[in-house]
Structure 1
Amino acid sequence: MFKQSSVFMFQLYLVFIILFLTPICYLLVSQVVKLIVENRLFKTLIPFDRKQRLSKQQVLSLAKIYIHKKQWLSCILMLELYVKIDNPNLGEYYNSIGFCYQLINVNRLAKYYYSQAKEFSPSNILFLKNLAKAYWMCNDLQASLSIYKQILKLDPQNEIALKNIDLLVKQSKKML
């Protein structure tokens, strides 16, 4: 009787251990696989020859990897380098730099870079939305409202602009 009871307890113990460790193993394996995939992509994007330039898509993919890894400085420095050497894509690079600054809550610099992106592509709705959000984060509600109205001129059905205009009007009334 005692032997059967101890065998049952041991089996129950093993079942609980397996149930507990299986999700942990799954999470660990999925993170390791994700890391391997990112590192392979990272290695394929970095040119062996320093004279070789990356394409716009490669630069932006590399920026996404840096952002995902929270390597803000590396991302900003790489994008600043390509701002100097890749003139046709300045708007997208400036927007990405602004996004990095926004993620680390340096909203004044984000606003500056989003403004630079807007200069190169004044009708790009993504650039305008980012700029409006940066103005809002810097408590420049009137400028943010103005940018959202510009977005509505370009896209009258833009839900984000419509929603944020309502919120900004309400917030402006509270401040008065």
Structure 2
Amino acid sequence: MIEFLKALHNFVWPDTWVAVFPLLALTPTPLALATAVLFVWSLAPAFKGQVGAGFLGWLRLTWALTLLPAVTGIILAVSGGKVASAVPVDLATLPQWCQDAAAQAGLEQVTRYCQPVDPPRDLEHWMYTGFTVLSLLAVEALARDRWNGEFLGVNIGLKLLPVITLFLAGCVYMIGRVAVWPGNSAGA
């Protein structure tokens, strides 16, 4: 069961799909693709001053694609899992080129992606996940006119939609980035 949850949580587009649709390389996960489309789509309500049913439907799909890895990530974290960039693996299980590169760089511990281990990345992964959920809540509130009117003024909130959805897409990008690549404290 845990292996299935890991596979679900770590899903990226298969290489064969990326070969057929090269633009998928820009958005390596379904959530990244959904947030990129949401950003582009948010330009229409910002200019028209009203939110259509299609935008709200895509927002619901984005929520589903956000909650799926979030819930599986919580289950994996409760069972002791950490983000890949924070977990060292046995060098003997990695390919020879990785073992040679680690030895040449003087690294005793590397991740499954042959990168230096960076334990604080686990907390960064959670931080960006929290920003993603908060951004989605803000988009939801703006799209449903919860903040328009007395709080932000009529339709001013809709002009903020592209900014918030761009931030959302950036957070989703960073979720994946911190899962794979080490940061400034690599090797700590």
Query: For this structure pair, what is the TM-score category when the shorter chain's length is used for normalisation?
Result: under 0.3
TM-score, with length taken from structure 1: 0.27
Greater percentage in helix: 1
| Greater relative CO (CA pairs within 8 A, separation 6+) | 2
TM-score, with length taken from structure 2: 0.25
